[in-house]
Amino acid sequence: MTEAAGAPACAPPDFSPRAPRLRFPSQACDCHAHILGPASRHPYARDRVYTPPDCLVPDYRAMLSMLGVERAVLVQPSVYGTDNTVMLQALQEAGPAFRGVAVVDWSIDDAEIAALHARGVRGVRVNVVDVREGKGTLPIVRLAELARRVAPFGWHVELLLHVDEFPDLERDLADFPVDVVFGHLGYMRAGSGAATPGFRGLLGLLKAGRAWAKLTGPYRISHTGLPYADVLPLAHALLEAAPRQALWGSDWPHVMLKGPMPNDGDLADLLLDWIPDEGLRQRVLVENPARLYGFPP
């Protein structure tokens, strides 16, 4: 593992998840998780902002089994840059119940996309937090070109950005060539509320069927600890706006967590308050991810 100045070590997840009170439906999907390591074989990028512990496929599958979740989407973490080796190996190890979201070079060609698609990748992630061209400005030209390149494969573009920093989000992405996925309930900075222009823009994109929102990582945007009560209104606003465009993910192994490490059973049980209706949970946990990631019915 390479050393990186200013890249603090992350606490490991709770490797003894408890069974949640929530009963997940058959074919439920965790739409946001990362596999990391082993660091002894797969070095991290030198310019990373955190240093994670080894969090491997058997650890992750044990967590899914305890929750009762059968499908998953692995998202390329920033600590590997555009080297998707660990994620692709994890997809091969895990089998057809897993899909992937890759991080790629802007210049990726059709042959490279086809090779990734054959291995289970169904989208590309762009960390706008790192590549934006100015506060409140999307690198829209590069994003649109990348989107046009992946569009023939049915892929989406997942953006990691703070929606409250982009008041013109709905206008900027209104004619985007592919669907856009937003993680962490819009990833607003703690204290930003649902009335911010960027969050309203996200709601508009969801209502138009142009975007998806992941109900993930509430601890990234909350002022409080479990059950992250200040995040509940945001979750309800997203679900009310577009129940067909909402997804759920564990964000395992919680690498950007600041504060006590929660048990994944407790995190799963947040859905009892976020989505109290069983029929809506079926849609968010099963039907929506099947549409976006191409799982069989």
Which residue type does 59 have? Answer: D
251 is catalytic: yes
Cα 104 from Cα 295, distance rounded (Å)? 23
Catalytic residue among 59, 164, 251, 264: 251
Q: Are 280 and 25 in contact (CB under 8 A)?
A: no
Which residue type does 295 have? Answer: F
> Closest Cα to residue 22, out of 249, 268, 227, 267?
268
Distances (CA, A) of 192 to 171, 212, 273: 20, 20, 21
Neighbouring residues of 14: CB distance < 8 A, sequence distance ≥ 6: 261, 262, 263, 264
Residue 9, number of CB atoms within 10 A of its CB: 9
Distances (CA, A) of 144 to 150, 174, 201, 240: 10, 11, 18, 28
Cα 276 from Cα 240, distance rounded (Å)? 13
Strands (E), the chain: 29-33, 71-75, 98-102, 121-127, 156-160, 180-182, 211-215, 246-248
Which residue type does 4 have? Answer: A
Distances (CA, A) of 103 to 19, 108, 127, 253: 32, 10, 9, 19
Instruction: Give the catalytic positions in this structure.
Output: 251
